Chain A
Amino acid sequence: MSKYDRRQFMKTAGAVVGASLALGMSAGVSNAFAADFATAKVNTTKLAVTDKTVKVGILHSSTGTMAISETGSIQAEKLAIAQINASGGILGRKIEIIQEDGASDWPTFAEKSKKLLENDHTAAVFGCWTSASRKAALPVFEKDNGLLFYPTFYEGLEQSKNVFYTGQEATQQILAGLDWVAKEKKAKTYYLIGSDYIWPRTSMKIARKHIEQHLGGKVVGEEYVALGDTQFGSVINKIKLKKPDVIYAAVVGGSNVAWFKQLNAAGINSKKQTLLTISVTEDEVLGIGGENLEGFYSAMKYFQSVKNPNNEKFVADFKKMWGPKSVIGDVTQAAYLGPWLWKAAVERAGSFDVDKVVVALPGYEMKTAPEGYVKVDPNHHLWSKARIGKWRADGQVDVVYESPLIKPDPFPKGYQ
């Protein structure tokens, strides 16, 4: 496609829109060549798409406190994009990455989103990690009609035209785990503990409702510790006094490590106590130490040790790119899905235009996901399974339970 042709197309923009729609419908082929998809047709909204390339943004914290968690997501997104490029790109175009650093600072996420959308005109952005950063960036994406793929499991209660959520919303992570622990461990009494911010609080609210209304259990304690707090002596003594059947934990960051170390040092280990957490993935174990977690349970949708051919390939590719020692946690896998889902949506739409991509993605079934099969729901979240993993001393899990596919329900009735 020469430049001359492109100008011609621009002049007759009206006709082009119709043509691109027609083309989009007929062209669901993945090995498309750029020539089949004229830039002017696949990009009517001035995105950074040329005949050979398309620009996307990666927006995570590579500095600051959140760098610990977000590094894995950056790596996964880069891996997916490298693989897509190696297999011919999207609509014949290579993906170019513009990486921005949110620096663990929420206003920075908003600013960088603005830059990625208004200056760079990126066709999609893969990014954000904490809910706070997503909430900061969301208004920008909605105003500039951008497209964000968000990887983290989160508290739900949100749905935006401009965002696809590739992690679990709260009910997908919480309900199946609690059902399992009530059934398998005959748990009646629960002690809830989390860090003091929106995600643990919303999650615990849902957990408490489920325990009290559906499982016939009792919550004997609910506790929130300040972010970054590393002293758990008093909390652990309270737990010892209450003797709950299950400790249900959502402590994050540096506190998480201190919490498990001190729990163990205080003599609470898996021989005496059932503990189910929704905030420990393989990434966190590096800091906590496998020996402090051995025998405790995590509820996630993905673990590195999930057995299926997709995952074996994914783990091998990830280690090849990022080193044999790297580990893959739940969010890292969810981040890996983002670029692939976007590719599928663009190809279904036959266009990079956000409005068309957003309509094309719901209903898409991804059979090559490392976690197994996922489906995009009209509410922009994914259908996925919940899994319970039992931690081993080597920092990996044995998957002890796998739920059926769960429909995402970001606004669960009766849980708010």
Chain B
Amino acid sequence: MFGYSMADIGNIVVMQGFSGLSLFSVLLLMALGLAIIFGQMGVINMAHGEFMTIGAYTTVFLSKLAVKYDIVNYYFVFAIIAAFIIAFAIGYLVEFVLIRHLYKRPLDTLLATWGLSLVMQQIFRSTFGAKEVSAELPQWLLGAFQPTSDIEIPINGVFVMGLAAVVTFGVFLFMFRSRWGLNVRATVQNRVMAGAVGINTKKVDRVTFALGCGIAGVAGAAFTTIASTGPTTGSLYIVDSFMVVVFGGAASLMGTIASAFGIAQAQSILQFFMTSSMGKVTTLLVIVLILMMKPEGLFAAKVRK
């Protein structure tokens, strides 16, 4: 802080505050889909990252088409919707073929979905090639927003924030204000009773899983604005996703939000004052310590037994 003018410091505080919020929205987007699958269904989905990759590749593919037909400025919104639909559909299929046979064996779902993630990675590699690719971004997503000449706010960060807000709001509406959400919560609380009152619990499971995957697809589409897409992109995100969900308390969506916020701010601030790696290490250490004292995570709730 020495040798810098007050104006400099003020600007940095603003930009640093923004990068914390931006990291928060990234973590939240990553973790939301997983929170639904892991939190509500108790399925440890190791292929979560690969569903993000599906969304990312969908965006890249559509961006190639958009370039061809010269509609780069508009396609991105459709790409996000398409990413959701495709990831949702594949998730639906995966639940039907694989997951539903393993509900009573949670550790086996871990292995099965991990295997699935390897298979998917190799499929990406064979289909799209081993090289990393980037989506062609619309002009309005590039560059920085400058409220003053020295403050620069990345527009893609603002976009990811907006999207995270929309998706979170959507999930809340779905879970707490819709018939479907009611069925999901009923199944989580008591599967037998839910079945007895006429809820098709199998269908609920399938849609819940597919929804989580669809949200992962949206996250993947959004991340094409900040990073590239390759066959193993998903593995970059999977650890952070689990960290957010576990730290937040597996069954609580509020917990996921709080935990994403806490981790993002801690990491962002620590990385500013320490070196980047040390900032991350310190954050992880704090999380480990807190989890040792509160093994259920920040917000503990009832999980399906």
Report A's interface with B, CB cutoff 8 A. Answer: 62-65, 67-68, 71, 196, 223-226, 228-231, 233-238, 240-241, 254, 257-258, 261-262, 264-267, 283-284, 286-289, 291
Count chain B CB atoms within 10 A of each CB in A223, A226, A241 and give the residue with the most. Answer: A241
Of B105-113, B168-176, B228-236, B245-253, which stretch is located at the interface?
A: B228-236
Task: Classify the secondary structure of B's interface with A.
Answer: helix
Count chain A CB atoms within 10 A of each CB in B4, B23, B133, B226 and give the residue with the most. Answer: B226
Contacts A254-B236, A257-B134; A234 near B16 (Cβ below 8 A): yes
- Beyond A231-B267, A238-B272, A265-B143, 12 additional contacts (C-beta under 8 Å) are A65-B232, A65-B235, A67-B125, A223-B275, A225-B277, A233-B16, A237-B19, A257-B134, A261-B156, A267-B152, A287-B133, A287-B228
Q: What 6 pairs across the A-B complex have the smallest Cβ distances? A: A233-B19, A287-B132, A257-B228, A265-B154, A267-B152, A67-B130
Q: Which residues on A sit within 8 Å (CB–CB) of B142?
A: 264-265, 291
Flag whether B146 is at the interface (Cβ < 8 A).
yes
A107 to B268, CA, bound (A): 35
B156 touches A265 (CB 8 A): yes
Q: Which residue of B lies closest to A327 (CB)?
A: B131
Contact of A254 among B23, B227, B268 (CB under 8 A): B227
Flag whether B193 is at the interface (Cβ < 8 A).
no
The tally of CB-CB contacts under 8 A between chains A and B is 130
A224 touches B276 (CB 8 A): yes
A230 touches B130 (CB 8 A): no
Flag whether B181 is at the interface (Cβ < 8 A).
no
B226 touches A261 (CB 8 A): yes
B146 touches A267 (CB 8 A): yes
A266 touches B144 (CB 8 A): yes
**Chain B residues touching A, range:** 35 or more
A258 touches B226 (CB 8 A): yes
Flag whether B157 is at the interface (Cβ < 8 A).
yes
A299 to B20, CA, bound (A): 33
Q: Which residue of A lies closest to B154 (CB)?
A: A265
Contact of B227 among A64, A226, A230, A240 (CB under 8 A): A230
Contact of A64 among B22, B232, B268 (CB under 8 A): B232
A287 touches B280 (CB 8 A): no
Flag whether B12 is at the interface (Cβ < 8 A).
yes
Q: Which residues on B sit within 8 Å (CB–CB) of A68?
A: 130-132, 230
A258 to B132, CA, bound (A): 11
Flag whether B138 is at the interface (Cβ < 8 A).
no
Flag whether B155 is at the interface (Cβ < 8 A).
yes
Q: Which residues on B sit within 8 Å (CB–CB) of A267?
A: 143-144, 146, 152, 154
Q: List 30 A-B contacts (CB under 8 A).
A: A62-B130, A65-B232, A67-B231, A68-B131, A226-B277, A228-B235, A228-B236, A230-B223, A231-B23, A231-B267, A233-B20, A234-B267, A234-B279, A238-B272, A240-B12, A258-B226, A261-B134, A261-B156, A261-B226, A261-B227, A264-B142, A265-B154, A267-B143, A284-B132, A286-B133, A286-B134, A287-B228, A288-B228, A289-B134, A291-B142
A258 to B122, CA, bound (A): 23
A64 to B118, CA, bound (A): 9
Contact of B268 among A224, A233, A283, A289 (CB under 8 A): A233
Q: Which residue of B lies closest to A228 (CB)?
A: B236
A226 touches B276 (CB 8 A): yes
Tell me the chain B residues, 211-249 only, with Cβ under 8 Å from chain A.
Answer: 223, 225-233, 235-236
